[in-house]
Amino acid sequence: MKLLETGTEIDGFVVHECIHAGGMAHIYHVGYANTERNPGFPLAMKIPRMTAGDGAENIVSFEVELTILPTLTGHHAPRFVAAGDLMRLPYLVMEYVPGDTLQHWLDNHRRGDAQEDAQHIARIGSAMAIAAHSIHQQNVCHLDLKPANVLLRPDGSAVLLDFGLSCHAHYPDLLAEEMRKAVGSPAWIAPEQVVGVRGDLRSDIFAIGVMLYEMATGELPFGAPTTDGGMRQRLWMTPAPPRQHRPGLPEWLQEIILRCLEPEAAQRYPSAAHLAFDLANPDQVPVTERGRRLRGPGLKTHFKRWIKAAGMHYQPSPLPTRQIEEVPILMVAVPHDDVTDATLYSLREAAARSLGIRPGARLACVSVISPSASSTSDHERSETTLRRNHLARLKQWAAGLDLSRHSASYHVLEAGDVAQALVRFAEANRVSMMILGAATHGLQLQRLIATVPMRVARDAPCTVILVKQQLPFDALGQ
């Protein structure tokens, strides 16, 4: 398919220069022929390749993107503008998002200090995970995440591109109906995709793990296989630990990467929000043997996994939104000043009930303290001690909870506005549910003063549970 000439007009759009000529489509800068029409953002037109030598997957993937892209909203996918007649000239017009792809970052990044690189990788990885979580909340799995399909905005956020291989839980999966083999990019495809299971959000987490591995080491964890047999190896293989390639990498980063790359989806992060949380809070990542190892599993371990994979039956995955709801990030606001035993007891009981019915949910325990008024070295030392004391109190408060099936983290925030700090933490970490104590003073005063619980309940981006203070009778007797 030859390139369109600059100045060509298509259905009221004027074609400018070609910005990408790929194997499946050409992408052009375009604008409205009627200059009075101004969408407020630059536009791009995507036209699929449909020559005699192109495969049927080109037009099928175009139909998939034509179905899915208009349903997506938010900051992490291009805005849909218009589409052409499939029988005459198929095209998609969408927002053109400025920025560089992750592939550009990989091609130009020079590795330096491993610890500093790890922080940079974590920031980019967190942005990717947040973008993936955004589309998962809309019941879409991307299923073709790779460096060329991740765009990094100047503000540090990520935009996902090319939804031609994606799956929407509420629409027919055309690719599954039309294709009889694994659909995806070989280096980044997840094990369950290899055997034909589509629609699991944890497949995108696997792909993010592959990208994190390449960012950290410069290598692909499974190479770039060209055969079905080569792709099937990831059903049982564990790649060489990143620290084998680069010993200076921190253990927490290896822990995160290898958890993303687990062959069984159930052993990976249950949602992209959990992954983003760990990448944003590396000091809270519990490092296991997985993060400490310097060599991959031996032949015996891989043989056992091969036997297990040969008899494994992959089940259809739950809806992305249901998967997210079943393993939420649960936040508990634990006060530290002027707090009663009744409040602490009631919060712990409420947290225990919520965790008890949600195996795999993550618990974030948060306290907000006043910011320091001085910056002298003595005060900084006392401030560090103060933070440690508050962290110790949070851990003591959580000691009565059964956390055997849950990840837990502890956070001390400094802010003059407690309600605002809690809301911002919930927004930044994609918290699904927040538990905090109800106000203790009367309704008359609450009508005059917006209390912290009232403001949090009003502004929080998640479900808020206000807990009334209550102690069991035996504690009251003591």
Quick check: is 3 in a domain? no
Could you tell me if 138 and 248 lie in one domain?
Answer: yes
Shared-domain flag, residues 297 and 156: yes
CATH number, domain of 52, equals 3.30.200.20
Query: How many angstroms separate the CA atoms of 137 and 306, rounded?
Result: 34
pLDDT (mean) for 306-326? 79
Residue 31 CB burial class (10 angstroms; 0-12, 13-18, ≥19): middle
Verify that 195 and 306 share a domain, yes or no.
yes
Instruction: Report the run of H or E that residue 146 belongs to, with start and end.
Output: none
Tell me: do 182 and 311 sit in the same domain.
yes
**Which of the four pLDDT bands, split at 50, 70 and 90, describes residue 189?**
very high
- In this prediction the pTM is 0.90
Please state, in angstroms and rounded to a whole number, the distance separating the CA atoms of residues 147 and 61: 19
Of 260, 289, 323, which residue sits at a domain end? 323
Whether 342 is covered by a domain: the verdict is: yes
* Model pLDDT, residue 224: 86
Burial 86-107 (b: 16+ CB within 10 A, else e): eeeebbbbbbbbeeebbbebee
Are 84 and 134 within one domain?
Answer: no
Q: Which residue has the higher pLDDT, 407 or 439?
A: 407
1 assigned to some structural domain: no
- Within a domain: 2: no
Q: How far is Cα 343 from Cα 90, in angstroms, rounded to an integer? A: 61
173-192 average pLDDT score = 81
Q: Quick one: average pLDDT of 385-412?
A: 93
111 and 78 fall within a common domain = no
- Do residues 221 and 336 share a domain? no
Residue 270 has a CB neighbour count (10 Å cut-off) of 23
**CATH value at residue 394:** 3.40.50.620
Reported as a pLDDT band with limits 50, 70 and 90, residue 126 is very high
460-474 exposure pattern, b = at least 16 Cβ within 10 A, e = fewer = bebebbebebebeee
Q: Within a domain: residue 177?
A: yes
The region of weakest confidence among 33-47, 90-104, 242-256, 411-425 is 33-47
Last residue of a domain, one of 46, 76, 95: 95
Q: Are 311 and 332 found together in one domain?
A: no
Q: 339 lies in which domain range? A: 328-477
Residue 185 and residue 290 in one domain: yes
Provide the domain count of the chain: 3
In a domain, 253, yes or no: yes
Residues 217 and 192 in one domain: yes
Based on the fold, state whether residues 282 and 400 are members of the same structural domain: no
User: Each residue of 271-290: pLDDT tens digit?
Assistant: 999 999 999 999 999 999 99
Same domain as 460, residue 365? yes
Within-domain flag for 473 = yes
Is 4 among the domain residues?
no
Mean pLDDT score of the chain: 88
Domain boundary among 269, 299, 323: 323
In tens, the pLDDT along 323-377 reads: 999 999 999 999 987 788 888 999 999 999 999 999 999 999 999 998 864 444 5
What pLDDT score does 373 carry? 46
The answer for 280, left when phi > 0, alpha when psi is -120 to 50, beta otherwise, is alpha
